[in-house]
């Protein structure tokens, strides 16, 4: 059941060796790893922070971090729309009874916040979105013609994580999850799981991220899993089929499954080699049965759908944490909080620089002006070292409507019409490219 790659799939962040496969790291390597720690970089770059009055594991996002998060969320929503997903919103609260039906209360309650009493009812902060989506599916009669029905949401959920494991954005108590559930027939499961793996691959390419490995997560010993051996066998076979059809190397690991079913976990590694799960695809026969989900088949009879859980980037918090560490704050242009900095040589060019920044905003680009009173040209260029594009505007550029671009990788481009430069940058950003020119 296990297939191993004959090539290294470990990510290689800039200036770092490949994570878990590296042995005997040097002091220089450890120093570089510490420099890329997202907790340090996130605060230095003004992406996020915390406050004891808000609480541990509850970071807030600053404007630049919010820009990165928004760009990532918009990418996911657009990719899901193109793939035929319908977006919904559901509340972050639910009655305790909801999670008793789903099985979370009996298998997962230690990770849930205590119930709150409202009148004669108990409500809880949800630890997962799938029960809500099951109820949305159940809200009206469904036909086989609607299947596969792909339902997606970027929604909040909450986990009662112990204080000792909280850290930065990787382990938090309030999570924004890129979640989706596909309700389909048994015959459609492998195809839907394979399509989800394709979405994950394309997202990783856009983010400039390489998985460390693909893991087929199976149940292990103990009572935390649903006791339904035949359903586990069928679910595992379907996920294995999807992996094999995708041509992906993977490892089967016991004890890492969800309580209701097996899953494909896409693992990433940080500079120190620590692995975490970023994306997942799961097959679930359990919750459709618990919630009594049905659709009317071509034969006129009522049939049980299968539920495929799918998350392209997992939690937004963990995804951004990995992106910060992987890129050292030098994000791909489409994700960068500031995509272009305009540097006027002197105060005389300041009006032209501001006009150029305005044109960037009109084109949907995130730009700002670094005025001459902020330092010498060299100092301002160094301050913008993580920004993908720096546009220098001198007297000649201002007079001719041109810009001289400096790319983050050190390249300097000859003066060119500002409109053409912005069109080229805009096209690269819209295509979610990782190259700068």
Q: Give the per-residue pLDDT at 36.
A: 79
- For residue 191, the model assigns a pLDDT of 94
What is the arithmetic mean of pLDDT over 7-35?
A: 42
Helix (H, G, I), strand (E, B) or coil at 14: coil
Question: Could you tell me which residues are beta bridge partners of residue 157?
Answer: 175
If you count DSSP H runs as helices and E runs as strands, how many of each does the chain have, helices first?
A: 14, 20
Write down the H helix ranges in 87-127.
96-102, 104-108
**pLDDT tens string 235-254:** 999 999 999 999 999 999 99
The per-residue pLDDT for 72 is 97
- Give bridge partners of residue 344 from the DSSP assignment: 393
pLDDT reading at 84 higher than 60: yes
33 pLDDT band, cuts 50/70/90, is low
Q: Are 421 and 405 in contact (CB under 8 A)?
A: yes
- pLDDT score at 31: 55
Residue 21: pLDDT over 80: no
Tell me the C-alpha distance between 41 and 236, whole Å: 40
Check pLDDT > 90 for residue 19.
no
Tokens found for residue 359: 């044109």
Report the pLDDT value the prediction gives residue 18, as an integer from 0 to 100: 35
**Rounded Cα gap, residues 262 and 257, in angstroms:** 5
420 contacts: CB under 8 Å, gap ≥ 6: none
Q: What percent of the chain stands above pLDDT 70?
A: 92
Average pLDDT over residues 328-346: 97
Strand pairing class (340-344; 389-393) = parallel
User: How large is the average pLDDT for residues 325-352?
Assistant: 96
Q: What pTM did the predictor assign?
A: 0.88
Average pLDDT over the chain reads 90
pLDDT(386) > 70: yes
- The DSSP element (H or E) to which 289 belongs, if any, is helix 286-290
Helices (H), ranges, 83-129: 96-102, 104-108
**pLDDT, tens digit, 9 for 90 and up, residues 39-71:** 999 999 999 999 999 999 999 999 999 999 999
pLDDT computed for residue 181 by the predictor: 98
Q: What is the pLDDT of residue 223?
A: 67
CB-CB contact of 310 with 182 (8 Å): yes
CA–CA gap between residue 436 and residue 414 (Å, rounded): 15
Per the model's pLDDT, the better-predicted residue between 33 and 287 turns out to be 287
Place of tokens 């020119």: 437
Determine contact, residues 343/368, Cβ cutoff 8 Å. Answer: no
Helix (H) or strand (E) run with residue 118 in it: strand 116-118
What Rg do the C-alpha atoms of the chain give, in angstroms? Answer: 24
Q: Does pLDDT of 209 surpass 70?
A: yes
List Cβ neighbours of 317 (8 Å cut-off, separation of 6 or more).
59, 169, 170, 172, 175, 176
Q: Which stretch of 34-38, 275-279, 299-303 has the lowest confidence by average pLDDT?
A: 34-38
**Residue 34 binned pLDDT confidence (cut-offs 50, 70, 90):** low
328 Rama sector, left if φ>0, alpha if ψ -120 to 50, beta otherwise: left
> What pLDDT score was predicted for residue 8?
31
- Mean pLDDT across the stretch 77-91? 97
Q: Return the percentage of the chain with pLDDT > 90, whole number.
A: 79
Alpha helices in 83-226 (DSSP H): 96-102, 104-108, 130-138, 186-207
- According to the model, what pLDDT value does residue 45 have? 94
Token couple for 123 = 């409500």
Asked whether residue 1 carries a pLDDT value surpassing 60, the answer given is no
Rounded-to-integer distance, Cα 89 and Cα 411, Å: 45
């Amino acid at each position: 059941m296990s297939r191993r790659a004959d090539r290294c799939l470990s990510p290689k962040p800039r200036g770092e060796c490949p994570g878990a496969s590296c042995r005997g790291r040097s002091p220089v390597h450890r120093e570089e790893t510490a420099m890329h720690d997202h907790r340090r970089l996130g605060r230095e770059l003004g992406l996020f922070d915390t406050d004891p009055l808000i609480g541990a594991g509850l970071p807030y996002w600053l404007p630049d971090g919010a820009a990165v998060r928004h760009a990532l969320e918009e990418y996911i929503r657009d990719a899901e729309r193109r793939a035929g997903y319908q977006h919904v919103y559901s509340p972050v609260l639910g009655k305790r009874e909801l999670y008793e039906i789903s099985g979370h209360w009996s298998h997962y309650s230690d990770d849930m916040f205590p119930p709150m009493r409202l009148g004669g009812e108990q409500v809880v902060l949800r630890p997962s979105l799938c029960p809500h989506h099951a109820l949305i599916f159940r809200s009206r009669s469904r036909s086989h013609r609607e299947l596969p029905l792909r339902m997606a949401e970027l929604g909040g959920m909450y986990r009662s994580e112990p204080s000792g494991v909280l850290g930065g954005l990787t382990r938090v108590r309030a999570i924004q999850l890129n979640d989706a559930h596909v309700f389909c027939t048994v015959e459609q499961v492998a195809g839907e799981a394979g399509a989800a793996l394709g979405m994950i691959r394309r997202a990783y390419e856009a983010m400039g991220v390489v998985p460390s490995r693909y893991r087929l997560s199976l149940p292990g010993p103990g009572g935390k899993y649903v006791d339904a051996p035949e359903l586990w066998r069928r679910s595992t076979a379907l996920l294995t089929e999807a992996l094999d059809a995708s041509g992906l190397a993977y490892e089967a690991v016991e004890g890492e499954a969800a309580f209701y079913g097996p899953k494909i976990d896409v693992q990433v590694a940080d500079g120190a080699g620590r692995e975490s799960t970023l994306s997942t695809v799961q097959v679930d026969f359990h919750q459709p049965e618990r919630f009594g989900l049905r659709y009317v088949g071509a034969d006129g009879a009522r049939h049980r759908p299968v539920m495929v859980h799918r998350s392209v980037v997992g939690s937004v918090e963990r995804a951004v944490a990995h992106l910060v560490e992987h890129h050292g704050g030098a994000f791909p242009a489409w994700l960068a909080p500031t995509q272009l900095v305009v540097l006027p040589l002197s105060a005389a060019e300041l009006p032209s620089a501001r006009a150029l920044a305005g044109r960037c905003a009109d084109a949907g680009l995130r730009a700002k002006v670094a005025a001459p009173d902020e330092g010498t040209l060299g100092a301002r260029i160094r301050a913008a070292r993580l920004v993908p594009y720096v546009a220098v505007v001198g007297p000649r550029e201002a007079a001719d409507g041109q810009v001289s671009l400096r790319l983050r990788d050190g390249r300097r481009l000859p003066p060119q019409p500002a409109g053409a430069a912005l069109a080229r940058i805009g096209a690269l950003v819209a295509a979610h490219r990782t190259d700068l020119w």
